[in-house]
Amino acid sequence: MKPTGCHLFLSRPDIIKEIKQGRLRFDPPIDQTRIEQVSVDLLLGHNFTRFKERSAGYLSAVHLDDSIWDSLDIWDRVEGDSYVLEPGKFVLAQTLEKVCIPNHLVGLIEGRSRYARLGLTTHLTAPKIDPGFSGPITLEIANLGNLPLRLRAAVDSIAQLMLVRLTRP
């Protein structure tokens, strides 16, 4: 009997089934060793976006509009195989994988505890990945620890994706 009124998280066999049936897709494809009991480990991509040191002006959280993300006065964009995140600093990054979530699932992105123990927060807010989403997932990363941390693209799996079945697509 199916429980009602609760979340139905996909387990490893269900995640594998969704992938094999082509409904849940990852590009590049993921190895099954990265599928845990109720999550998929995602790798860090090569693109990093950080605030410029001494950005001009200030940001008003009340009046943000979409043009803020394209402002060269505020952001530095870096591409590379690694990125050193200093203590107290923040960077936006993306997953290496482009994720395609089918309409009957919703994703939840979370950091991984092995990195959190070093002071690395991988996703600060808004963990929901909507049904029908397709693309790399943007990660909000901060170093709350005391030591610089080298983040390695295509090596470090700093985020995990959990999947929840919707009651109605």
- Quote the DSSP letter at residue 34: G
CA 20 to chain centre: 22
Instruction: Give residue 77's pLDDT.
Output: 85
Active-site option among 18, 79, 110, 140: 140
Structure tokens at 67: 């043009």
Q: What's the whole-model pTM score?
A: 0.85
Report d(CA 127, CA 137) in Å as an integer: 10
Instruction: Give residue 124's pLDDT.
Output: 80
In the residue annotation, 97 being an active-site residue is answered as: no
Instruction: Give residue 169's pLDDT.
Output: 80
Instruction: Give residue 69's pLDDT.
Output: 58
Instruction: Give residue 126's pLDDT.
Output: 81
Instruction: Give residue 156's pLDDT.
Output: 96
CA 152 to chain centre: 15
Beta-bridge partner residues of 92? 49, 140
Question: Which residues of the chain are modeled with pLDDT < 50?
Answer: 1, 3
